[in-house]
């Protein structure tokens, strides 16, 4: 025990009554069973100081709240309570990733430097003479690496723990017979690693089998593994034999990535594109169920006895994210406007982080006037390009740049940098530990099975109640197309015709050598109804996008036929911020110019489409009535276009929840909890009774002259209710109930519509500049009728920046949401 503590205990003569009570309390319930040695002269039954010391150091004390010193002794003071909503504790330790209990994990820590290639890395140019090796298999080859007990289809996730599988980690690599043995030593049991088996079929030739996504039998695309015991002058050939996609960027010049540990330590060289004789082809071996495809390439290692890594794309792990967020949390400046919170816990218990980025507002009105921007990444764990774009965005928005400060002044950014940490940790390509593609289940009601996306959707739903969400964007990777592009949703409201295309069109102008507007698509398909892009759009976010960044490179401008680097992707994160400023510029010149150019581009596409069909049309007369469904192609460019449905073990749970939800909706009646609510309900019911009585009175013969004055008004009120209330049912507040005309004969829904129109001028006179309530209806899936004008001012959100000139307001290009 510490000397100071011993001296303090020796000076103590009488025990603390509360401690004595707690000792007896713990002993009574069986949490402490040690009998204390007592002094002979003691006449009371209280434990002596020696007993206190013995108790604190006892291993039988089951509390985890006591602190330990460096010598293993107990320090008799409680730990600081855990902060339920904060990000990191004061200790600043990283949260160790949790793995499924079936996964073996090596103890080594894998870390890579971020080196930038000194020269552009050009695509591989096929010669047509590339060798197509015959698949030999383990019957004729030698297995040099193979994972055991990997969960596949038919099994499901049960539990997790830090470090994965219990017990001693097996040595899966072969044992070298001596210094002359040139067999490569493979390993992939580290974070984001993926390699199931390696078979040596010749001296320098290996066949590799990738591990499918856990608890599935498909989704083989992402690979990331380590090799050791290399030879410098030899030409090695690697062939991956169980890929599932019939098309790949490897067919048009994409190269694998290689990382040399010696080059990184000596020359500060990071990941680089390497490989020759690259060929992507169909595997002739057929298992009778599905076709496999092969990727083969040759490589010469730069050093003898080197440790090298191969990957499908630049890895970005869960630990990498935590290190970055820890640096933000410890930064005294950035932590003032970036709040790091826990959105939820994943299936395995890993933290899903939520960042709220905005400058503190001086007034509540200024805070309520801010619009929101929601960004997310890594819902597909094998698409690490999304994390690099997200890192570039965070680097800029957290900087001291004037543009970054302006964005933080006028927006509230909600950022989820890694939606699927479990999949990232275990090295999945597409799925979570539920064995399903999360980007097809945003409509799920299974909170416990899909916690990450359930809480994301719920967070955005609450956010829409507080403020308008200007933009939603989910960062992804694409395995079949080059360049970077967006998928959006066509607006059905002709008032905002082509508005959803303005942001990607501006982005293509700001990044002409990386972003391709021609590759963008805005078709909403039935198979994509469960994606984040479509679900958020139906919740009322007009500018709802999926950003697709290629695993390959660019075919545009100065970067034509070159691979993307991490710096290229991070620069796109900056350009997202830059384009956001252009998009919300109070001077609408850029916005209107983009609309004009978009109309011209679309007109050319329509003419081209009709010419292909051999039809003629007059676009000047029916321009706004043209449907885009037949013009745009399908967005089914992924290997998981169709949802696999729920796993078998979740079908009954989902059915029961749907059944309970229907019963709950029938029985649900909102309770009145306060006197104010009861008074409002009483006034509302009393008003309805008065209106009905007036209506009955007007039908009597004595009121014929009165009825002659009513038809025009009734016709007007019916038009208002049919155009507004049918889509949006505005909530009646107290001022509307007290200020209505009691001589009007209307039913409640028509009365509400009339009140909104009748009080338009009066409300704008009473509250100039802030006529919109901060609370918004969550039922924004249907947009307002274009003939119905909202009663608030369009430039209601005035962005006032400290130290900057006052902005006039946002352009009136966004969705109008009735309060």
Per-residue pLDDT tens over the stretch 36-52: 444 444 434 434 444 44
Q: Are 799 and 482 in contact (CB under 8 A)?
A: no
Res 99: pLDDT:
95
Q: Pick the more confident residue, 672 or 338.
A: 338
Span 436-455, mean pLDDT?
90
Beta pairing, strands 197-202 & 142-146:
antiparallel
Query: Does residue 111 lie in a domain region?
Result: yes
Residue 151, domain member (yes or no):
yes
Among the listed ranges 4-18, 155-169, 549-563, 800-814, which one has the minimum average pLDDT value? Answer: 800-814
Q: Tell me, what's the pLDDT at 106? A: 92
Which among 160, 159, 145, 175 has a CA at the least distance from the CA of 98?
160
Whether the per-residue pLDDT at 635 is higher than 60: the answer is no
Task: Kindly state whether residue 167 falls inside one of the protein's structural domains.
Answer: yes
Average pLDDT over residues 299-310: 96
pLDDT at residue 803 is higher than 90: no
Task: Specify the CATH number for the domain of residue 400.
Answer: 3.40.630.10
Tell me whether residue 719 is in a domain. Answer: no
pLDDT at 805: 39
3 state DSSP class of 681: helix
Q: What sign has the CA pseudo-torsion 130, 136, 138, 141?
A: negative
Whether residues 324 and 304 fall in one domain:
no
Percent over 70 (pLDDT), the chain = 66
Q: Check whether 782 has a pLDDT greater than 90.
A: no
Q: How confident is the model at residue 21, as a pLDDT?
A: 74
pLDDT band at 777, cuts 50/70/90? very low
pLDDT, tens digit, 9 for 90 and up, residues 359-379: 999 999 999 999 999 999 999
Is the per-residue pLDDT at 583 higher than 60?
A: yes
pLDDT at 297: 97
Co-location of 283 and 342 in the same domain: no
Distance CA 203, CA 199 (A): 11
Asked if residue 191 is part of any domain, the answer here is: yes
Q: What is the pLDDT of residue 671?
A: 60
Residue 796: its pLDDT value, please? 32
For residue 608, the model assigns a pLDDT of 80
3-state secondary structure of 283: coil
Res 354 pLDDT > 90: yes
Q: Quick one: pLDDT at residue 138?
A: 87
Q: Are 487 and 576 part of one and the same domain?
A: yes
> Could you write out the three-class secondary structure of 461-524?
HHHHHHCCEEEEEEEEEECCCCCEEEECCCCCCHHHCCHHHHHHHHHHHHCCCCECCCCCECCC
Residues paired with 186 in a beta bridge: 227
Q: What percent of the chain has pLDDT over 90?
A: 50
* Reduced 3-state DSSP string for 383-397: CCHHHHHHHHHHHHH
**Residues in contact with 602: Cβ distance below 8 Å, sequence separation at least 6, in sequence order:** 498, 631
In a domain, 238, yes or no: yes
Q: Is the pLDDT of residue 481 over 60?
A: yes
Q: Would you say residue 650 has pLDDT above 70?
A: no
- Whether 669 has a pLDDT exceeding 70, the answer reads no
Q: Are residues 150 and 295 in the same domain?
A: yes
Nearest to 467 by CA among 797, 47, 57: 797
* pLDDT reported for residue 50: 40
pLDDT band at 417; cut points 50, 70, 90:
very high
Q: What is the pLDDT of residue 743?
A: 37
Query: 53 vs 218, which has greater pLDDT?
Result: 218
Q: Give me the chain's average pLDDT, please.
A: 77
Model confidence at 651, pLDDT cuts 50, 70, 90, reads low
Confirm if 590 and 582 have CB atoms less than 8 A apart. yes
Residue 816 scores a pLDDT above 80 = no
Task: Please tell me whether residues 505 and 582 are part of one structural domain.
Answer: yes
Inform me whether the pLDDT recorded for 763 exceeds 60. Answer: no
Domains in the chain: how many in total?
2
Of 695 and 809, the structure prediction assigns the larger pLDDT to 695
> Of residues 460 and 702, which shows the higher confidence score?
460
pLDDT higher than 60, residue 705: no
pLDDT of residue 93: 65
Say yes or no: 301 and 327 in one domain. Answer: no
In this structure, is residue 178 part of a structural domain?
yes
CATH of the domain at 150: 2.60.40.3120
Do both 446 and 549 map to the same domain?
yes
Instruction: Answer yes or no: do 467 and 401 share one domain.
Output: yes
Name the residue with higher pLDDT: 632 or 705: 632
Does residue 728 register a pLDDT over 50? no
Q: What is the extent of the structural domain holding 250?
A: 104-312
Rg of the chain on CA atoms, in Å: 33
Domain boundary among 264, 280, 312: 312
Q: What is the pLDDT of residue 279?
A: 96
Reported as a single tens digit per residue, the pLDDT across 551-561 is 999 999 999 99
Tell me what pLDDT residue 167 has. Answer: 83
Q: Within a 10 A sphere around the Cβ of 183, how many other Cβ atoms?
A: 18
pLDDT of residue 792: 30
Q: Which pLDDT belongs to residue 168? A: 83
Least confident of 300-304, 476-480, 730-734: 730-734
Nearest by Cα to 546 from 606, 484, 634 = 484
Are 304 and 323 members of one domain? Answer: no
Residue 632 near residue 539, CB atoms below 8 Å: no
One domain, residues 261 and 323: no
CB neighbours of 667 closer than 8 A, spacing ≥ 6? none
pLDDT at 626 over 70: no
342 φ/ψ sector (left φ>0, alpha ψ -120 to 50, else beta): beta
Task: Name residues whose C-beta falls within 8 Å of residue 772's C-beta, 6 or more positions apart in sequence.
Answer: 792, 793, 796, 819
- Which range scores top for mean pLDDT: 66-75, 86-95, 100-109? 100-109
Domain boundary among 291, 312, 333: 312
Any domain includes 632: no
Both 305 and 290 in one domain: the answer is yes
Q: Read off the pTM.
A: 0.70
Most confidently modeled of 211-220, 302-311, 631-640? 302-311
Q: Which residues are designated catalytic?
A: 548
d(CA 681, CA 415): 39
Confidence of residue 307 (pLDDT cuts 50, 70, 90): very high
pLDDT over 90 at 226, yes or no: yes
pLDDT for position 784: 38
Q: Rounded to an integer, what distance in angstroms lies between the CA atom of residue 112 and that of residue 708?
A: 83
Q: Residues 568-592: what's their mean pLDDT?
A: 95
Are both 380 and 507 inside the same structural domain? Answer: yes
Residue ending a domain, choose from 266, 284, 312: 312
């Amino acid at each position: 025990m510490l000397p100071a503590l011993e001296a303090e205990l020796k000076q103590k003569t009488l025990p603390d009554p509360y401690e004595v009570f707690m000792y007896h309390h713990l002993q009574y319930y069986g949490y402490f069973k040690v009998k204390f040695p007592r002094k002979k002269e003691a006449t009371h039954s209280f434990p002596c100081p020696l007993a206190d010391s013995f108790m604190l150091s006892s291993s039988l004390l089951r509390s985890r709240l006591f602190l330990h010193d460096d010598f293993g002794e107990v320090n008799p003071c409680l730990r600081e309570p855990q902060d339920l909503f904060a990000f990191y504790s004061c200790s600043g330790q990283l949260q160790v990733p949790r793995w499924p209990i079936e996964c073996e994990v090596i103890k080594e820590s894998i870390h890579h430097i971020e080196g930038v290639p000194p020269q552009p890395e050009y695509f591989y140019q096929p010669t047509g003479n590339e060798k197509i090796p015959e698949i030999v298999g383990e019957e004729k080859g030698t297995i040099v690496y193979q994972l055991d007990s990997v969960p596949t289809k038919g099994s499901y996730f049960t539990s997790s723990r830090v470090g994965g599988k219990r017990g001693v980690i097996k040595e899966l690599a072969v044992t070298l017979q001596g210094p002359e043995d040139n067999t490569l030593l493979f390993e992939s049991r580290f974070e984001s690693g993926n390699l199931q088996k390696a078979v040596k079929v010749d001296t320098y030739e290996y066949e590799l089998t990738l591990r499918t996504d856990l608890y599935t039998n498909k989704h083989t695309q992402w690979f990331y593994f380590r090799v050791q015991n290399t030879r410098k002058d030899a030409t090695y050939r690697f062939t991956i034999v169980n890929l599932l996609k019939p098309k790949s960027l490897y067919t048009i010049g994409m190269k694998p990535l290689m990382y040399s540990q010696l080059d990184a330590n000596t020359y500060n060289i990071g990941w680089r594109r390497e490989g020759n004789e690259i060929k992507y082809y169909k595997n002739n071996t057929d298992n009778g169920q599905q076709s496999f495809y092969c990727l083969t390439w040759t490589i010469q290692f730069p050093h003898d006895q080197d440790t090298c890594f191969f990957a499908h794309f630049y890895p970005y792990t869960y630990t990498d994210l935590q290190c970055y967020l820890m640096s933000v949390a410890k930064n005294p400046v950035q932590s003032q406007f970036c709040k790091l919170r826990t959105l939820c816990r994943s299936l395995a218990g890993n933290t899903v982080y939520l960042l709220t980025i905005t400058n503190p507002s001086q007034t509540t009105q200024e805070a309520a006037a801010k619009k929101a921007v929601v960004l997310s990444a890594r819902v597909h764990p094998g698409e690490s390009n999304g994390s690099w774009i997200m890192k570039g965005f965070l680097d800029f928005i957290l900087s001291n740049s004037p543009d970054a400060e302006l964005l933080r002044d006028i927006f509230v950014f909600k950022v989820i940098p890694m939606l699927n940490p479990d999949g990232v940790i275990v090295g999945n390509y597409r799925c979570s530990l539920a064995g399903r593609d999360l980007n097809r289940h945003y409509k799920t009601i299974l909170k416990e099975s899909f916690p990450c996306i359930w809480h994301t959707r719920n967070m955005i739903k609450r956010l829409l109640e507080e403020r308008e969400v200007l933009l939603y964007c989910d960062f992804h990777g694409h395995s079949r197309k080059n360049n970077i592009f967006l998928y959006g949703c066509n607006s059905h409201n002709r008032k905002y015709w082509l508005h959803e295309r303005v942001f990607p069109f501006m982005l293509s102008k700001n990044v002409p050598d990386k972003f391709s507007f021609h590759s963008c698509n805005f078709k909403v398909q039935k198979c994509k109804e469960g994606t984040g892009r479509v679900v958020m759009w139906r919740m009322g976010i007009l500018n709802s996008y999926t950003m697709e960044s290629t695993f390959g490179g660019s075919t545009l401008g100065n970067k034509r036929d070159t691979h993307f680097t991490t710096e290229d992707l991070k620069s796109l994160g900056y350009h997202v911020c830059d384009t956001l400023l252009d998009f919300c510029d109070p001077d609408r010149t850029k916005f209107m110019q983009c609309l004009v150019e978009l109309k011209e581009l679309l007109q050319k596409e329509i003419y081209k489409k009709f010419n292909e069909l051999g039809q003629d049309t007059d676009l000047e007369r029916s321009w706004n009535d043209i449907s885009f469904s037949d013009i745009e192609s399908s967005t089914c460019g992924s290997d998981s276009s169709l949802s696999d449905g729920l796993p078998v073990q979740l079908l009954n749970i989902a059915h029961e929840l749907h059944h309970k939800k229907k019963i709950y909706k029938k029985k649900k009646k909102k309770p009145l909890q306060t006197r104010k609510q009861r008074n409002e309900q009483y006034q509302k019911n009393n008003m309805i009774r008065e209106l009905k009585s007036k209506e009955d009175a007007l039908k009597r013969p004595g009121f014929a002259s009165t009825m002659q004055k009513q038809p025009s008004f009734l016709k007007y009120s019916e038009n208002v209710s049919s155009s507004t209330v049918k889509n949006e049912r505005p909530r009646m507040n107290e001022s509307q109930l007290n200020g209505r005309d009691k001589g009007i004969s209307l039913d409640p829904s028509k009365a509400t519509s009339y009140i909104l129109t009748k009080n338009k001028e009066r409300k704008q006179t009473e509250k100039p500049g802030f006529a919109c309530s901060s609370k918004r209806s969550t039922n924004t899936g249907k947009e307002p009728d274009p003939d119905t004008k909202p009663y608030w001012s369009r430039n209601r959100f005035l962005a006032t920046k400290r130290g900057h000139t006052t902005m006039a307001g946002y352009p009136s290009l966004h969705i109008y949401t009735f309060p």
